[in-house]
Structure 1
Amino acid sequence: MSLLVISPGKDPEAWVEALKEQHPGLNIYVYPEDHDKEDVEFALTWNHPRGIFQNYPNLKVIASMGAGVDHITSDEELPKNVKITKVVDNRLAEDMGTFVLSLVLAHQRNLLHYRESQINEKWEPVPYTRNNEVKVGILGIGNLGQRVAHKLLQNDFKVIGFSKNKKEFENVESFAGEDELDDFLEQSDILVNMLPLTPDTEKILNKELFEKLPKGAYLINVARGEHLVEQDLLAKVDDGHLSGAALDVFWEEPIRDEHPFWKHPKIRVTPHIASVTQPNSVVPQIIENYERLQEGEELKNEVKRDRGY
């Protein structure tokens, strides 16, 4: 049995080295080098070419290189009998928590405003709110969302969470299901989107949702660009209903040179760096699942294909 690494546009060398270190006898192929397709039962991938897994008759597992799996599940030609796994990593969660906290603090203390003031050589003090006066709503409070909530609570922010099914977290008010979404949105001074990308959540950050947020609310999107209707965001920021947004993910990455987000004074752009997978940190769980497959054992962090996450 062999493991195939497919990551077009992403240098696989660090992954291959980490895999060999963790499992010295492992036979590894790297796409697109020549290899025996019938020998491949396990694939490790990020943004594979659409339909490519149809060429592997004995493939049993497709492992994502990161926490997200929409780059896999969006492939309409994905073999139906193949299992999918995702990465669950404390370091990724810690990085995400730190990043979101930084964006929340930067907004709450008006740092983007002061950056613009400095560029324009203007001395413009503005009022600010204290942490305990701000309620942050986490839209999609899963593994990463829980770590974000923990970071925010440590810094005295009020935190509420929304998920598909009811979840209980200490000091976090939980909302679940369509019936409770409006109540959740109406209380979110800052909305942090951390939803998985599925057909149900694509374009969920739209005009209708924004209008349910309090006037002056702020959006942070660290999930997927496809969650956001970009023109709706620009319209609600420009009409003053939203105070601005911090965006780390986009429909097209990198965004085009002439994109209106680049120079918008109330929109902060970062290049998809909220939390970046480190091969040495996550390869042990990849190897564990590889060995579990060989032993016929249940895989860890398996994705429920009917839900898409």
Structure 2
Amino acid sequence: MKTVLIQPDVKGVNEFHSILSNDLIGYNIVTSVSDVNLSDIHVVIIWLSVPDFLIKLPNLKLILSCGSGVNHIINSSNLPHKIPLIRLVDPYLRNRVADYVVEQILNKFYPTLNLRKLQMDASNVFDIIRKEKLIIGIMGLGLIGSTIAEKLKNLGFEVAGWVKTSKNRIIKDVYIGEDEKVELVKKSNILVCQLPLTRETKGILNINLFNHLPDGAFLINVGRGDHLIESDLLKALEMGKLSGACLDVLEKEPLPENHPFHKQPNIKITPHIAGYIGPETQAPYASKVIMGFFKNEKLKGKVDYNSLY
């Protein structure tokens, strides 16, 4: 019998255990390493940290991470790089972040519209959006970024993307690699950051990048707070390169009371609510991933240890 270990720091660990126990018939589901022999553990589900025993499990076949990103664990010496690591970016999380981005764009540029109106009167709304001819540039087209791109495209927006490597994408207008990054930025009236946080992407939202935007562009950051050089955002607003920004992620959360962003009416701050991680959505998805893995199915969200995301 295969054993799945859910680490105690996983959000809603007891509910997670209950759902997996119901879904994974024939599997042994545990929440403490002391409840099982190390040699019996085949799957481990982690979140905030990498347990020191992980690298010592002789029959470990799969690691699942509850975080939408892995920047907080990827450099751990306890992470065995020979074992597949899958991010549990479930469909609810993808759609929630995408809906958040759509809502912020509507609030900024189409204040009389909302998601409910889009659903009730899609054809007329589509015509309204097409007439504005706004171009939305998305930095990062992973599972979440691709969902954002697809929703915006289906609403009639012109959408372009920037990625590190070349492969099939949900949209056609894609810029690849460092040399083409500026080409995306130059055409983006709205710039959305949904990148993983790596050494290369830390501080990527900076004044050098903002200087290439069309005047009066709008920034949405749903990636990581460390993507943004906060002082450079203030400079870009002062220069008129940016007309405003919506930030769901910040360098320090919650935003300190004396932070200069509080004095900027054109900067909207939300308390890291775009996405959601919880057992009621992640656990059923984890069950599907585990069953798919042992059936040799191709899985989404697999981490590339070389790229560190």
Counterpart of 2:3 in structure 1 is 2
Matches within 5 A, 1:1-309: 1-6=2-7, 8=9, 10-30=11-31, 34-36=34-36, 38=38, 39-48=40-49, 52-54=52-54, 56-58=56-58, 59-109=60-110, 132-167=132-167, 172-291=172-291, 295=294, 297=296, 300-301=299-300, 302-309=302-309
Structure 2 unaligned regions, length at least 5: 113-128
Measure, in 1, the Cα distance between the counterparts of 2:292 and 2:304: 18
Q: Under a length normalisation based on structure 2, what TM-score does the superposition of the two structures give?
A: 0.80
DSSP 3-state at the match of 1:238: helix
DSSP 3-state at the match of 1:261: helix
1:106–1:188 Cα change, 3 Å = same
Aligned-pair RMSD on alpha carbons? 3.0
Q: Is the 8 A contact 2:149 2:170 kept in 1?
A: no
Structure 1, residues 139-180: CA drift from partner, whole Å, max 9, x if none?
112232222122222333221111123456676422112221
DSSP 3-state at the match of 2:306: coil
Letter in 2 for 1:202: K
**TM-superposed deviation, 1:90:** 2.9
DSSP 3-state at the match of 1:265: coil
**TM-superposed deviation, 1:44:** 0.9
After superposing the two structures, state which structure 1 stretch, 226-235 or 182-191, moved more.
226-235
Letter in 2 for 1:11: G
DSSP 3-state at the match of 2:274: coil
1:300–1:19 Cα change, 3 Å = same
DSSP 3-state at the match of 1:219: strand
Q: Is the 8 A contact 2:205 2:227 kept in 1?
A: yes
Measure, in 1, the Cα distance between the counterparts of 2:196 and 2:205: 13
1:182–1:37 Cα change, 3 Å = farther
DSSP 3-state at the match of 1:179: helix
Q: Is the 8 A contact 2:10 2:66 kept in 1?
A: no
DSSP 3-state at the match of 1:212: coil
Q: Is the 8 A contact 1:197 1:226 kept in 2?
A: yes
**TM-superposed deviation, 1:183:** 1.1
Q: Is the 8 A contact 1:37 1:56 kept in 2?
A: no
Measure, in 1, the Cα distance between the counterparts of 2:169 and 2:106: 22
Measure, in 2, the Cα distance between the counterparts of 1:105 and 1:7: 40
Measure, in 2, the Cα distance between the counterparts of 1:91 and 1:13: 20
Letter in 1 for 2:96: D
DSSP 3-state at the match of 2:73: helix
Q: Is the 8 A contact 2:55 2:79 kept in 1?
A: no
Measure, in 2, the Cα distance between the counterparts of 1:147 and 1:291: 24
After superposing the two structures, state which structure 1 stretch, 216-225 or 269-278, moved more.
269-278
After superposing the two structures, state which structure 1 stretch, 271-280 or 187-196, moved more.
271-280
Measure, in 1, the Cα distance between the counterparts of 2:199 and 2:52: 22
Q: Is the 8 A contact 2:203 2:228 kept in 1?
A: yes
Measure, in 2, the Cα distance between the counterparts of 1:103 and 1:88: 22
DSSP 3-state at the match of 2:211: helix
Letter in 2 for 1:105: L
DSSP 3-state at the match of 1:197: coil
1:47–1:285 Cα change, 3 Å = same
Measure, in 1, the Cα distance between the counterparts of 2:12 and 2:296: 31
DSSP 3-state at the match of 2:260: coil
Measure, in 2, the Cα distance between the counterparts of 1:170 and 1:45: 30
DSSP 3-state at the match of 2:173: strand
Structure 1, residues 195-227: CA drift from partner, whole Å, max 9, x if none?
122222122112211112122111101111221
Q: Is the 8 A contact 1:97 1:151 kept in 2?
A: yes
Measure, in 1, the Cα distance between the counterparts of 2:272 and 2:184: 26
Measure, in 2, the Cα distance between the counterparts of 1:265 and 1:37: 57
Q: Under a length normalisation based on structure 1, what TM-score does the superposition of the two structures give?
A: 0.80
Measure, in 1, the Cα distance between the counterparts of 2:103 and 2:194: 16
**TM-superposed deviation, 1:185:** 0.6
